[in-house]
Structure 1
């Protein structure tokens, strides 16, 4: 087998976002595109003599990209690659394999919750030896490398059989093809009371898990149906498909409408859940009641001690800045630290590694703990099941008691998708320019108490991240946040986050959009969203 250096030239725009490099699949399939980016990864992190994990969510091009990456890893001197059978690994399972095997990192092929298919999205990201996404300094170095690359290394070899578990040789490199589910399922058994959950299912508890034709299907079937005894058919849309069955694999009320309709129907199961393309996000629904991600994080923090893996309590909690402050109130009651970080799971890594936080969450349907260094959709579902099994209450009853104790942070996110980038940038620039003059002004009967562009200083390593989202706060505790998302592949996605606190006991059971109406109007007026973007109505409301 011969190693070639293939001549290439820099390709513009290969800048990783909050979760790696994401582009349309035809872009990644273009000449040298995948290879240039992967070579830049290896040039920055080094490959000689190292061990990596490789896997993806099974979307279109996943299988072909895996073969390319393996040949490049061998050509760059890697000693070993652990790859999921069929090149499949959920993102949290990949993080666990990195940590379990003490590897030097891993490459994950996914565009997470973005659609998949020949004309949809693909992505590649690198996770560090701690199992978490590469920090900004590393991804920036990769981007800089893409600008000067003149060649990439490739082993001249045939495809290897990734469908069979076992060890094979690729040049001088060992490739271990592993069951993608087994190690992850074993980890879950150490964290949760499988006996109590199994007894709950045996007692007639009914659940619906929508895996959205994405990667969690095999994981959910193995854990929920086989190990926990949920009825056959509990997991729907369980087969990972290259185009996710034509679905948008984003677990929210808009894209998981079938699940929402069932859970709000007359014969709803006791509990419903969904996960996304690569398995790191979750949506939780009770019979007749939807649980917002912010509320879910708060409830999990308040009840985590009921699960064996967290019986000793939490060191602290962390949330992304746009996520509601509901979990902060829990942390205060528990006497533990709470942290507010920029959007992006990589910002939680230092806190988790330093033992300063145990649970973390984002409003974008991501929740996780220190068991891995990624958000973990199925983990969150299992923690909810553990809580339900111990408390022997419904989701609605648990939420009602939580709000009665802590008050309710009404919360919603409005997404304006595929906005012309120049218009979105102009709107954000104008808003930033107006921030200094907002304090003291009154909008919709609410007085602005502060406005800024969020900056974060990491309490562990002192690194600073600026311009992480514009915040406008009101004296009654309400606020809105505006930022441009880094997860889309077409135009800009403008995200508007809205929050209003009700202390109770009255006003705890309003429709969130009704409760937030004054904040919504104030946000549109202050930011002049319609004037800049031509949009008055969001594409997605969560």
Structure 2
């Protein structure tokens, strides 16, 4: 894909989102349930869409929220529902719409006490804390209004059940079907109060998400070591929900931490454009992170999170760390410093995360549990402590508290950012230096993802694949060691295929949120071998679709 000339530059004023038009469309546009693209659809990260395409409107949110209320009632979930929202323009109206339905259904709701945006991991942590401290009582769950790092025109809605993490496919499928039933009947059976009445209801109470998250950090990170090291930290919240966390963290633990950008603006005009010229708050993109990269000499370490703060971007003196590289260094540090974790606690990773983690796990004597794409697959492993860490190549991860209990069962960007500071303090070298030493020991892999258009035919073909359908004996010159259509960690379908050798691997899977097919490859034998892997992946895809 060609790099857009605006990549890494601030967006031109004329390209900024028209926020009044976007919000107006949320209330005035209505989906056509006969159009598949305008129905409720939960991908790997909830329902996402835009009011401008009639895929994220007031009617959608009313229907989805009523479906969540029905699900809670059916499953006896009667505790408080913790609800947060990020800083996208559509998050505020969707938050209000959801509150109207929740209050009408007599749901106890906990929302930010001061009206600030709420980070995804802070909601997950709040759910887990409530349920741990009220064992045997009514269980809590949560809703997060966010499209993650998607462009400013998008909105999103996620449901987290009482386990605190992203809902399982069985749950989201039920909610999706129920919500579409309401859409089909013009939401006639959706219960709803006017917003002012809902907001004043005694069912709706303020909750200090920030205070609970900040005060609990010593349970999971060595905050004293970070402070004592004097490491100079820089943070760019990219206009997102993590903004409310950083100053309280710095003040509470006396860290040398500077927030370099405190702006909140739904146009995200201060975020450099991504490689395609679009505004996308992806903290793993060097184009989006160009502002923080230009300041890296001012800090020992700097980092950023996306708008709902479930992703991390780590900038060392050498530059922006590839997420796969950072996760390998993080696993190396964590499993050598968390002595109270279960002796058999494994490293959890998705199938398309770097095989460097397999080599790190082997060296540490730790099993590696490989699951399909989606953080929801790590929830049971983090809940019972059988995985010390769960991570995915798209810069999402979480890990256990020092005592082996779960901190969050959703991705936690600020946590991984602060872990980089702990690593620097306790290892006396930055995460990029730790990763460099790992490559000297295990090899230096090259990793690349390519995208191709994907229609329903592609999705159906990939989802129906079985290992015996793939007639490959060698992979880019090396013997094939595995052909996977299900994840070895839990036996769940991966919706595509992964083919492995000792020297590298490739994987093909359709996106859960976009009309594209993702082709991943990783080589431990250099650039030429990496391109050979990609060529074989594309050739296989063409044969399958012939």
Do these two structures clear the TM 0.5 threshold for a shared fold by scoring above it? yes
- 2:221 maps to 1:189: no
* CA distance 1:332–1:112, change in 2 (3 Å): same
* CA distance 1:227–1:146, change in 2 (3 Å): same
* CA distance 1:83–1:515, change in 2 (3 Å): same
* Partners of 1:334 and 1:437 in 2: CA distance: 33
Q: Is the 8 A contact 2:462 2:495 kept in 1?
A: no
Equivalenced residue count is 482
Q: Is the 8 A contact 1:28 1:122 kept in 2?
A: no
Alignment of 1:387-426 (within 5 A): 387-416=423-452, 419=453, 421-422=455-456, 424-425=458-459
* Partners of 1:252 and 1:225 in 2: CA distance: 27
Shift of 1:440: 1.8
Q: Is the 8 A contact 1:208 1:272 kept in 2?
A: yes
State the Cα RMSD in Å.
3.1
Aligned to 1:43: 70
- 2:392 maps to 1:368: no
Shift of 1:281: 0.6
Aligned to 2:349: 319
Q: Is the 8 A contact 2:314 2:321 kept in 1?
A: yes
Aligned to 1:152: 190
* Partners of 1:146 and 1:466 in 2: CA distance: 25
Alignment of 1:222-261 (within 5 A): 222-224=248-250, 227-231=253-257, 234-245=258-269, 247-259=279-291, 261=293
- 2:338 maps to 1:300: no
* CA distance 1:366–1:79, change in 2 (3 Å): closer
Aligned to 1:72: 101
Q: Is the 8 A contact 2:511 2:518 kept in 1?
A: yes
TM-score, normalization by structure 1: 0.80
Residue ranges of structure 1 left out of the alignment (5+ in a row): 1-7, 162-168, 459-463, 503-509, 534-542
* CA distance 1:260–1:236, change in 2 (3 Å): closer
TM-score, normalization by structure 2: 0.79
* Partners of 1:84 and 1:526 in 2: CA distance: 53
Secondary structure of 1:249's counterpart equals coil
* CA distance 1:257–1:83, change in 2 (3 Å): closer
Aligned to 1:59: 88
Aligned to 1:355: 385
* Partners of 1:394 and 1:467 in 2: CA distance: 34
Select the structure that is richer in strand.
1
Secondary structure of 2:196's counterpart equals coil
Q: Is the 8 A contact 1:214 1:238 kept in 2?
A: no
* CA distance 1:286–1:404, change in 2 (3 Å): same
Aligned to 2:413: 377
Secondary structure of 1:468's counterpart equals strand
* CA distance 1:401–1:72, change in 2 (3 Å): same
* Partners of 1:261 and 1:376 in 2: CA distance: 22
Shift of 1:109: 0.3
Shift of 1:402: 2.0
Shift of 1:243: 3.2
Shift of 1:14: 1.1
Aligned mate of 2:486, from 454, 467, 475: 454
Shift of 1:29: 5.3
* CA distance 1:83–1:63, change in 2 (3 Å): same
Alignment of 1:87-98 (within 5 A): 88-98=117-127
Deviations 1:483-507 (A, max 9, x none): 112133xxx13222111236xxxxx
Residue ranges of structure 2 left out of the alignment (5+ in a row): 1-30, 132-138, 272-278, 400-405
Q: Is the 8 A contact 1:218 1:239 kept in 2?
A: no
Q: Is the 8 A contact 2:283 2:306 kept in 1?
A: yes
* Partners of 2:417 and 2:169 in 1: CA distance: 30
Secondary structure of 2:192's counterpart equals strand
Q: Is the 8 A contact 1:28 1:34 kept in 2?
A: no
Secondary structure of 2:42's counterpart equals coil
Secondary structure of 1:139's counterpart equals helix
Q: Is the 8 A contact 1:14 1:143 kept in 2?
A: yes
Aligned to 1:135: 168
Shift of 1:93: 0.4
* CA distance 1:268–1:480, change in 2 (3 Å): farther
Shift of 1:111: 0.7
* Partners of 1:50 and 1:273 in 2: CA distance: 35
* CA distance 1:287–1:79, change in 2 (3 Å): closer
- 2:44 maps to 1:18: yes
- 2:536 maps to 1:522: yes
* CA distance 1:501–1:522, change in 2 (3 Å): same
Shift of 1:254: 4.0
Q: Is the 8 A contact 1:438 1:448 kept in 2?
A: no
* CA distance 1:141–1:359, change in 2 (3 Å): same
* Partners of 2:32 and 2:386 in 1: CA distance: 44
Shift of 1:158: 1.5
* Partners of 1:327 and 1:442 in 2: CA distance: 21
Shift of 1:441: 4.8
Larger displacement relative to structure 2 (376-385 or 22-31): 22-31
* Partners of 1:260 and 1:157 in 2: CA distance: 39
Deviations 1:169-208 (A, max 9, x none): 41xx42222333211111223322222212323xxx4333
* Partners of 1:422 and 1:332 in 2: CA distance: 39
* Partners of 2:489 and 2:368 in 1: CA distance: 14
